[in-house]
Each structure stands twice: as structure tokens, then as C-alpha cells.
Amino acid sequence: MEENKMISKNPEVINQIRNMNEFSAFTFNISLRLRLCHALWSSASITGRLQKVQSKCHPYWPPVGKTMTNGHLSVTVMEEKRLLAFISRTLSIMNQETEEKRTMFQFHFITWPDHGVPNPFQLVQFQRSVDQQQTSLPGPLVVHCSAGIGRTGTYIALDALLKHSQSSQTIDVYQYTLTMRKDRLNMIQTVEQYIALHDALDVSLSFPDTSIPKGRFGVDQDNRHHRIQDEFEALNKTKQAFVEKDYSIALSNANIPKNRSRDCIPVNRFRVRLKSPMEGRDDYINAVVLPSCSRSYGFLATQLPLEDTCVDFWRMVYDYNSQIVVLLDRPESDVQLLPEDDQSDLEIEVFKISMSGTIKDLGDTQEVDICLHKQQDKEKRQLKVLLTSVRDRDTNKIATRRLANAVSSTIRLEAARKTTAITVVCRDGKTNCVPFCLLKTVIERMDLDNTVDVFDAAREIQTRRPDTFNTMEDIRVIYQSLEEYIDSTSIYLNE
């Protein structure tokens, strides 16, 4: 029987269900020397850099492109890819005495809270990514967290039980936990971790992997309808039900007038909180924080401001240092959000907004350079504003080419700027904002690792904006827009 090891610390060996010596557990303070002498090719780190105030975890890798020396071993990070829940790194390790070199792949899960458990979908995505890489490598897998028992035990059990279920069609969490604890005490340290393991197993077995390689996207047309239907049904299963108290801040007497409609308001937990104090105003704006591929604060999705909330809109842009604003609907005639031209300034309470040049007409999209200045602040912030419409005037449906072009223009602007949250605006803060944010997130993931996963990105958005993806067409339009984007990008590259 082929030996396939997974190592954790100190190192006691953890028996896998079928293969002996499959796992062993490491604390975070791992010796790089062991990595070379055991021919290790990959590792899974399940901890953040800092826990509480005290630093329990010290990184054994340098920043990207830098080299760290540990004894006679040098470590260089050749590449780093950051997703929302984890980071993957390619490390080059060299023995300076023998000049032997090894390439190692590290997967670093970063969303396990200090006092709590992770999102089961994120943990499953992490496990699948590690497993996909590990199956192509010859050596064992290192698993570690800060103590080497709690999170490490949870991950090892998840991976081992899923592999066992493929052949036996059975899962015995209790018995496998006992098996691990024979070799290392307290593997799976808390009741909460034990429950999290069950939740992750349930997700993995109930929701198949929806990611597909970019190269297969265009040739998978025959299965696309079934894929879209399956993903729509899965989104309905994962949709969280919120009650009125979850919207209490938006529905307070002071804030009801700030909403265009009671049908589109933010959940308390995911609303944008304004930071800069202003006399007579609280921290509320009808806006939701949405994640991108790699950042929890990827987008600030908000409604077109009302006459009385224009100041709150610019407070939000200022507070979050948003450098790109995408207007997917035009402001109403009685609401002035931007200056009329480059010869006049617009003053809204403590903010002065001016154009830094003329409006650039780019077909479906107009581009404006804006200078945002807050009174008593010496800094003048330079912003880019995109004005576009993503809907067909006759049918009022999403025009996939326009949506793809709007995202493409935003990606172009983002490449030249510091990465901050992008402000995305439409009439209600949802109808056009959500497809824009979803498409951009899917494209960002595709450009990062050549993977397309519409469901996973949609699920993350739906968690924060539950009143979304109510029809199959909401999913279908993303697939069609992505196809438009790929086609237009291919034409550009071939010119």
C-alpha cells in the first residue's frame, strides 16, 4: 500500500483510517530542517499571524521576493496568491551547505477566529485546494496551527474522513477522534471545533466542488444549463433567513428616511459604518460591505444618495479611502452628486468636490477624475469615477456586454491604484451593484489562479445581501457576462 503521510507536531504520528502514518501534527514553531530531511513538498497552516495581543505564531517565511535564513537553510517566497479565506505560497528552500533546493507549496488559512470556529464553506474550499495540490506531489503534508491540536486535529479529521467516505460510504467522527487522541492528546480541542468538523463534513458532502478550470469554461456549454440550475438551487439552500431585528438600525426612526425603500436595507451585521463624526448625523448609510476575491472589504455597495444623504455618501468614500467610484445608475435631477463641469466646485457640508479634468467618453462608460477635499484636512484625495449603465433601455435587462465592459474598465483603473474598497452605486444598492460585484469577483479569481467559481463568490455575497439571486437568470447573466469578458480579452491579446 502506497504511503501518503500528513504530518503535524510534535511530531506524534496520527493514524489515517486506511493508511497508517498518514498524519502527524505540528505546532506553528516548526523546524525548517525537518522539511528537507523528510522531503516535504507542501504544508497547510491553520492559524493567523497574531492571536490575542500576545504573538503566539512567528512566520517562518519572508515577504514575497525576500529571503529568510534559518541556520543553514534559506527560504524565499517565490509567489503568493491571496483568496478571501486563505493564502497560497510557493516557497523555495535551499540547504546552503549542500546547495540542495526544494520547492514547497504552503496553504495558509487566515479566517479561523481566535475564539470561535470558521465558516464551514471556507474551510471546505481550503481543504479542497490543499488536496488538489497534494495529490500531484510525492511527499507528505505538514499540518500545523499554534498549539498543534485544536485546529490541526479538526483539519486532519476533515481530510481523512472525507477520503475514507469515498470508498466506504461511511463516516464515524467519534471513532476517528479517539484514534487521533491515542497518538496525540486533545486532538480537536473544544466542543465548538467538534461541531465545526460536523458542519464542514456536511457542507463538503452536500455541496460538490463548483470550481472549474478557466480552460474548460468555454467548452462546457452542454452542461451549463444544469450547472446554473444546480448552483441556483444550492444558493437557495444556503440562504440565511433574517428577521426584523436584524435590520433594526436601518429601520430606526432616525434612519428610515435615509432609505429609498424598506425592501432594500442592510443587515446590521454587514452594514457600512461611517467613521467620521458629524454633528446631527449618526453612522448610518444605506450601504453593505461585500467581499471581493481576496478582501472582506472589497466593495461598498450603496444606493443612489437622496438629497439629504449626499454628505453621508462622501463621508463613506472619505472614511474608507475609496479611490474608485462606479455609478451604475445616473443620479436623479434633484440630487447633485458631482460638479457640473471642471470649472465649478460642488460643496456638500464639509466636503468640496471638484473635477480634475474633462469627462472622458469611453463608449458605454464615462470616466471622471475627481478631487475630494474635507475641510480642516490638508490632504486632497484623487478619485476616479466611472459613470455607466449596465441595462438595456428597451428590455431593462442586464446587457452582458455593458456589464463586462464596466468591470473591465474598473479592473484597468484598479491596477494603477492602491487596493482599497471600491464604491459601487445603483438606484437601490442591489439590483445592479450585486451582478457587478459578483462578476468582478469571479474575474479576479479567474485571473489569480485560472479558476472559475460563480457559486462560491455568489454565496459569499448572498451571506451579506440575502435578498439576492432570486431567479436562475441572476446566475445565468454572470456566466454570459464572463463569456463576453473572456472573448473581449482574447481579442485584445491577439491584436
Q: What is the pLDDT of residues 407-465, one digit of tens each?
A: 999 999 999 887 799 999 999 999 999 999 999 999 999 999 999 999 999 999 999 99
The pLDDT of residue 493: 46
HEC letters along the chain: CCCCCEECCCCCEECCCCCCCCEEEEECCCCHHHHHHCCCCEEEECCCCCCCCCCCCCCCCCCECCEEEECCEEEEEEEEEECCCEEEEEEEEEECCCCEEEEEEEEEECCCCCCCCCCHHHHHHHHHHHHHHHCCCCCCEEEEECCCCHHHHHHHHHHHHHHHHHHHCCCCHHHHHHHHHHHCCCCCCCHHHHHHHHHHHHHHHHCCCCCEEHHHHCCCHHHHHHHHHHHHHHHHHHCCCCCHHHHCCCCCCCCHHHCCCCCCCCCHHHEEECCCCECCECCEEEEEEECCCCCCCCEEEEECCCCCCHHHHHHHHHHCCCCEEEECCCCCCCCCCCCCCCCCEEEECCEEEEECCCCEECCCEEEEEEEEEECCCCCEEEEEEEEECCECCCCCCECHHHHHHHHHHHHHHHCCCCCCCEEEEECCCCCCHHHHHHHHHHHHHHHHHCEECHHHHHHHHHHHCCCCCCCHHHHHHHHHHHHHHHHHHHHHHHC
Same domain, 279 and 422: yes
pTM listed for this prediction: 0.90
The pLDDT of residue 321: 96
> Is 13 part of any domain?
no
Q: If you average pLDDT over residues 156-168, what whole number do you get?
A: 92
> Is 362 part of any domain?
yes
Question: 474-487 pLDDT, tens per residue?
Answer: 999 999 999 999 99
In terms of pLDDT, which residue wins out, 15 or 112?
Answer: 112
> Is 46 part of any domain?
no
**What is the rounded average pLDDT for all residues in the chain?**
88
Same domain, 140 and 191: yes
Q: How many domains does the chain have?
A: 2
The pLDDT of residue 379: 87
Domain that holds residue 73: 29-37+60-206
The pLDDT of residue 276: 92
The pLDDT of residue 376: 85
Q: Which of 173, 206, 239 is at the close of a domain?
A: 206
- Identify the weakest region by mean pLDDT among 137-141, 267-271, 290-294, 317-321: 137-141
The pLDDT of residue 12: 52
The pLDDT of residue 43: 73
Same domain, 402 and 270: yes
Confidence of residue 203 (pLDDT cuts 50, 70, 90): very high
> Is 212 part of any domain?
no
CATH number of the domain to which 345 belongs: 3.90.190.10
The pLDDT of residue 56: 59
